[in-house]
Structure 1
Amino acid sequence: MTVIAQSLRSGMAALGHCRDIRSGIAPRGVAVALMAALLAPGAVLVASGTALAAAPTFESAGKQAILVDDLTGSVLYAKNADERMAPSSMSKLMTAYVLFDRLKSGRVSISDEFPVSEKAWRMGGSKMFVELNSRVKVEDLIQGIIVQSGNDACVVVAEALAGSEDAFARVMNDTARELGMTGSHFTNASGWPDPEHYMTARDLATLARHIIDEFPEYYKYYSQTEYTYGGIKQGNRNPLLYKDIGVDGMKTGHTEAGGYGLTASMKQGDRRLIMVVNGLSGVNERSNEGERLLSWGMREFENRKLFSAGEVVETAEVWLGDTGTVPLVPARDLVVTIPVADRNSLTAKVVYDGPIPAPIAEGQEIAKLVVDAPGIEPLAVPLVAGQTVTEAGPIGRILAAISHFVSGVAEGGEPQKQP
């Protein structure tokens, strides 16, 4: 196992000076065991979302809450984030996602018109006020769902896309599984109270990220503050849209079972945060708590780009290859979210089981970059081969074997067997 530790200082885009902590050839079993330890629960990949430990303290008034960095997936704050809760109208994010997916695939057009059934027309609660037996354009329905929180608009969409609201709920559940939303179950398109209709704060944050990242052409509707349909003008219920803090979406919710909730997204500069909070006591607390949590996340954390995709982090030794080393590079930009207070304490280790036997394909995962700081759990990020390395010819293999034998004897021990 080869371990190379390096220090990251404030303002540096790349790793600082190298210091060789330990270098050598370990038995493959030991290397596998150490790598497994690095990737054990608590050590996670940046690409799949990371949890921050020992982060700046915060306490939310909500019963459930989560705050996530959109770029890295790092969880900056969580409170009962995996607890089932009544999502109320925040459920409409899934209804919108399914509709956006149909639009993007071309199965539905923004100018299509959907019929209004009696069931849709009779829906209670918040309404778009569609007329019985009329036909409503998809773009109007989008704004009716997002801006006006229309339960009637949700039923119109559900029946048009799946034939019935029950069938559409099955589509919602299938979609949730595809998106990795393991704590959600839908029975209707609007979030109408039902004990079998539930979500988690974490799932809502996951869904919000997918909407923002997959459908930028439709995300714009979430920042719309008002919409008029049938001569009735209604304002967006998201209170943070009316504050100059960078919030540009997404959806409120309220039922007796769930209390007052809000899924919101804030963008300042290159950073975007996604917040979910639920179980609050009223509209004022929802507004104040949402702003407080998002502002805290922007203030106390920052994103740091360590390496660009393809940038050489380190070189690894190669065994019996046509070259003695191979560059180690990240497959994509490496960005980490860290507490601002710990920005000068970031360290990194390159870990690999080496020397790495040839042949090695370009893009093959062969190492890990383990990033650590006082305020975060260690992050283990894959590093791949920056170039292809073929096997050495017969003479090269003989010379490599002799070289390794001489090196092993010079160090006072028997040369170890190679893979």
Structure 2
Amino acid sequence: MTGCATTSPPEAVLAVPAPAQKYAAIVVDAKTGKQLFEMNSTSPRYPASLTKMMTLYLLFEAMDSGRVTKETLIPVSAHAASQPPTKLRFRPGEALDVDSAIRALTVKSANDVAVAVAEYLGGSEEAFAAAMTAKARQIGMLNTVFRNASGLPDDDQHTTARDMAVLGLALRQRFPQYYYYFSATDFMSRGKLVRGHNDLLGRVHGVDGIKTGYIRASGFNIVTSYDADGRRLVVVVMGADTARARNAHVEDLLQRALAPGAGSPQLVFNDP
């Protein structure tokens, strides 16, 4: 990723939907790596369920290597089944195939499935989290530490908006054959339709993924990919007070980044 664009005129003011200590954002041109906008993008933040992007990265690697296929069954342990919502409420001893596991993670952000994947690939969630952190370093995420596969609260689990942009870029570049999973808005699970959390999909022109996340400590997070009209962008927003404010901010950042001669707008923080 290269340096930030020049600052736009003073009249370009962008309202920030979060207190300063939680907010972070970055916009990157996915074709060139150029950083079009950033604010607090290297400050530590809690990733919440954006964590599952790395869980999926390692699962996609396992598919590429032939270690698993879409039909491979992943067992659900008592530990996995005990995770708090959001989850699909599998019982200990049940299993799901890899294809369903991917959809459960991308669409529903299911914590029980994230742990089941971690245990299957890593032997334990702790060992898998160590592999996640090692992979983060390998792909250029310099300020990220993972302690679990789901993004559930852990004081030692942290990332940055910049690192999440790196991961979003890497997922598309490394696994274009699996990237369609991030565009799904629902899927069938055990005969029931499960709907997702990413309201930008199907509503905002050009948005084709990636992942949302929320825990109380992080606020509302999202990594969004845009691919249309010859432009390809990755937008990360972290720490918004509501999902609606987060989504509106993503739309605003996209509009400004796509505008002719766009630069980095000034920022006005909303009250907490």
Calculate the TM-score normalised by the size of structure 1: 0.59
Does 2:11 correspond to 1:59?
no
Identity %: 36
Does 2:50 correspond to 1:97?
no
Deviations 1:213-264 (A, max 9, x none): 1111111011111012123322121111031411010111111100011110
- Does structure 2 retain, via aligned residues, the 8 Å contact 1:128–1:149? no
Deviations 1:89-146 (A, max 9, x none): 1111110111111111222211111111001111112112323201210000000000
Give the residue type in structure 2 aligned to 1:73: G
Distance 1:340 1:67, change over 3 A: closer
Report what 1:220 is aligned to.
Answer: 180
Report what 1:37 is aligned to.
Answer: none
Does 2:2 correspond to 1:49?
yes
1:169 equivalent among 90, 115, 129: 129
Give structure 1 stretches of 5+ with no counterpart. Answer: 1-47, 301-338, 342-374, 376-419
Does 2:194 correspond to 1:239?
no
Report what 2:40 is aligned to.
Answer: 80
Hey, what's the Cα distance between the residues in 2 that align with 1:254 and 1:69? 25
Hey, what's the Cα distance between the residues in 2 that align with 1:73 and 1:226? 31
Does 2:100 correspond to 1:145?
no
Secondary structure of 2:201's counterpart equals: helix
Hey, what's the Cα distance between the residues in 1 that align with 2:221 and 2:146? 17
Hey, what's the Cα distance between the residues in 2 that align with 1:340 and 1:187? 38
Secondary structure of 1:242's counterpart equals: coil
Report what 2:144 is aligned to.
Answer: 184
Distance 1:78 1:110, change over 3 A: same
Q: How does 1:220-299 map to 2 (within 5 A)?
A: 220-299=180-259
Does 2:70 correspond to 1:115?
no
- Does structure 1 retain, via aligned residues, the 8 Å contact 2:4–2:38? no
- Does structure 1 retain, via aligned residues, the 8 Å contact 2:52–2:149? yes
Secondary structure of 1:59's counterpart equals: strand
Give the residue type in structure 1 aligned to 2:153: P
Q: How does 1:364-379 map to 2 (within 5 A)?
A: none
Give structure 2 stretches of 5+ with no counterpart. Answer: 265-272
Hey, what's the Cα distance between the residues in 1 that align with 2:2 and 2:254? 18
Hey, what's the Cα distance between the residues in 2 that align with 1:274 and 1:76? 10
Hey, what's the Cα distance between the residues in 1 that align with 2:28 and 2:168? 10
Higher relative contact order (CA 8 A, sep 6+): 2
Give the residue type in structure 1 aligned to 2:34: S
Deviations 1:150-209 (A, max 9, x none): 001100100000100000000001000101111100000000101100110000000000
Secondary structure of 1:147's counterpart equals: helix
Secondary structure of 2:26's counterpart equals: strand
Give the residue type in structure 1 aligned to 2:5: L
Hey, what's the Cα distance between the residues in 2 that align with 1:171 and 1:226? 29
Report what 2:118 is aligned to.
Answer: 158
Hey, what's the Cα distance between the residues in 2 that align with 1:212 and 1:49? 19
1:203 equivalent among 163, 174, 183: 163
Calculate the TM-score normalised by the size of structure 2: 0.90
Secondary structure of 1:216's counterpart equals: coil
Secondary structure of 1:193's counterpart equals: coil
Deviations 1:53-82 (A, max 9, x none): 334645351510000000001111100000
Report what 1:388 is aligned to.
Answer: none
Report what 2:270 is aligned to.
Answer: none
Distance 1:60 1:92, change over 3 A: farther
Q: CA deviation at 1:291?
A: 1.2
Q: CA RMSD in A?
A: 1.6
Hey, what's the Cα distance between the residues in 1 that align with 2:221 and 2:74? 30
